[in-house]
Structure 1
Amino acid sequence: MDSINFNGVSVRVPVDGSDAGKLLLQNVSLDLRERRVGVIGANGSGKSTLLRLVNGLVEPSEGSVVVYGDDTVGAVRKVRGKVGFVFTDPLSQLVMPTGREDVELSLRRSIRNGRERALRAEQVLDRFGILHLADQSIYELSGGERQLLALAAVLAVDPKVLVLDEPSTLLDLRNRELLRRTVAGLDQQVIMSTHDLDLAQDMDRVLVVEAGQIVFDGGPAEAIARYRQLCAAEVDGRA
């Protein structure tokens, strides 16, 4: 089943002095089949929680999430083999001194032979146009180069789904466009949260999240218009 299913999902976290806890997501039911799915909403709306449910980084308090036939709680190892996750800040994800080493680390489980692993790592780095950066310290790279490196490390193992949590936040315009073109050319199903409405416009389907609920689910133009209305209403309410 090539889809991601949220079935009545709610997420609560403990809060001191509260028996009920804090509700981060409430009764979310979705069937995500589109090749490109965007998620937009204000900070604290529940976007990141929604994304982290897809690969089991967060577990539902109620309901279930099923990724391509596997439950994210009961079969979390299988799910994480299918889902690659790229965080907002690539430095929180890159753990080795150089890009070459990081990509080889990603491949260690799937390719046991060291020579084969090194060759595959070079192929992956070359695919993303960063082979010439393979042996530089990750701290010498630009934000866009680091983000491409994080993408390369995740995609090296060929996941079925790529989840991107606000990937353009730390990027300048040139690197944002590079990221945009790279994502557009991927074979994987992509689920991406973003504050960049131009990136959201590229999606096939966009979810608007507000106060832990999906308040709009549809085409990008309509979703962006709905999000702008929500933002304007909030500003008017504070005025």
Structure 2
Amino acid sequence: MNSIHFDGVSVRVSVDGSDTAKTLLHDVSLGLTERRIGVIGANGSGKSTLLRLLNGLVAPSEGRIVVHGDDTVANFRGVRRNVGFVFTDPLSQLVMPTGREDVELSLRRSVKNSKERAARAETVLTRFGLLGLADQSIYELSGGERQLLALAAVLAVDPKVLVLDEPSTLLDLRNRELLRRTIAGLDQQVIMSTHDLDLATDMDRVLVVESGRIVFDGDAEEGVARYRMLCAAALDELPTGSRTGDVPR
């Protein structure tokens, strides 16, 4: 079953010890088969919750998610072998002093021989043009270089699905374009949340999330247009003088 299925999925959490649960996602049912899928929406809309369900970082309060035949709760280890997750801030997942060590760490479970593991890590770093930075401290690298290292470490184990949570947030224009080209060339299915609407229009399919619900599911350009309309409507509802932001471009 080479696809991802959400069946009646809701997520509720208690906030600050309150007896009343807050619903982050409402009754989501989806089949995700396209090669490139974008997820867009305002901050707090439920995008990150939707993505974290895909590899078991968040468990559904109701419903079920199946990724390539594995239930994300009943077989979360199998799901995590198939789904690689890259966070917005690469420092949240780069845990070793250098990129080389981080890529080798990600390979430790699948490649037992240390010499073979080192060779595989070097191949991965070369593929992403990072070999020259492999032995520098991750704290000496730019945000874009760290993001690419985090991506390389995740892809080193060859997951079937790559999930990216707002990967371009910390990137300058050059590294954003490098990320864009890298994503386009990957064999994996890519599911990505983003505020970058140019990146969103590269996708085969776009989901628009609003207040924990999927309010649009379809063509990328149509999805971006729908999101802009939602943002414009929200701004129109604000009192005069409080409109501090613009509609996304």
TM-score, normalization by structure 1: 0.99
Moved over 4 A (4+): none
Alpha-carbon distance between aligned partners in 2 of 1:112 and 1:225, rounded to the nearest angstrom: 49
Query: What letter is aligned with 1:3?
Result: S
Superposition deviation, residue 16 in structure 1: 4.8
In structure 2, the partner of 1:91 is: 91
In structure 1, the partner of 2:79 is: 79
In structure 2, the partner of 1:51 is: 51
Gaps in structure 2 of 5+ consecutive residues: 240-249
Identity in percent? 80
Alpha-carbon distance between aligned partners in 2 of 1:97 and 1:60, rounded to the nearest angstrom: 35
Alpha-carbon distance between aligned partners in 2 of 1:78 and 1:28, rounded to the nearest angstrom: 22
Q: Secondary structure at the match of 1:28?
A: strand
Alpha-carbon distance between aligned partners in 1 of 2:94 and 2:18, rounded to the nearest angstrom: 37
Superposition deviation, residue 20 in structure 1: 3.8
In structure 2, the partner of 1:209 is: 209
CA shift in 2, pair 1:235/1:136, >3 Å: same
In structure 2, the partner of 1:32 is: 32
After superposition, give the CA deviation of every residue in 1:156-205 in whole Å (9 maximum; x if it has no partner).
00000000000000111111001000011000000000000000000000
Q: Secondary structure at the match of 1:120?
A: helix
In structure 2, the partner of 1:225 is: 225
Q: How does 1:131-210 map to 2 (within 5 A)?
A: 131-210=131-210
In structure 1, the partner of 2:243 is: none
Alpha-carbon distance between aligned partners in 2 of 1:60 and 1:227, rounded to the nearest angstrom: 26
Root mean square deviation of aligned Cα: 0.8
Q: Which moved more, 1:227-236 or 1:18-27?
A: 18-27
Gaps in structure 1 of 5+ consecutive residues: none
Superposition deviation, residue 17 in structure 1: 6.5
In structure 1, the partner of 2:12 is: 12
Alpha-carbon distance between aligned partners in 2 of 1:101 and 1:205, rounded to the nearest angstrom: 36
Aligned length: 239
Superposition deviation, residue 15 in structure 1: 3.0
Query: What letter is aligned with 1:48?
Result: S
Alpha-carbon distance between aligned partners in 2 of 1:25 and 1:15, rounded to the nearest angstrom: 15
Superposition deviation, residue 14 in structure 1: 1.0
Query: What letter is aligned with 1:207?
Result: L
In structure 1, the partner of 2:122 is: 122
Query: What letter is aligned with 1:181?
Result: R
In structure 2, the partner of 1:60 is: 60
Q: Secondary structure at the match of 2:179?
A: helix
Q: Secondary structure at the match of 2:215?
A: strand
Q: Secondary structure at the match of 1:24?
A: strand
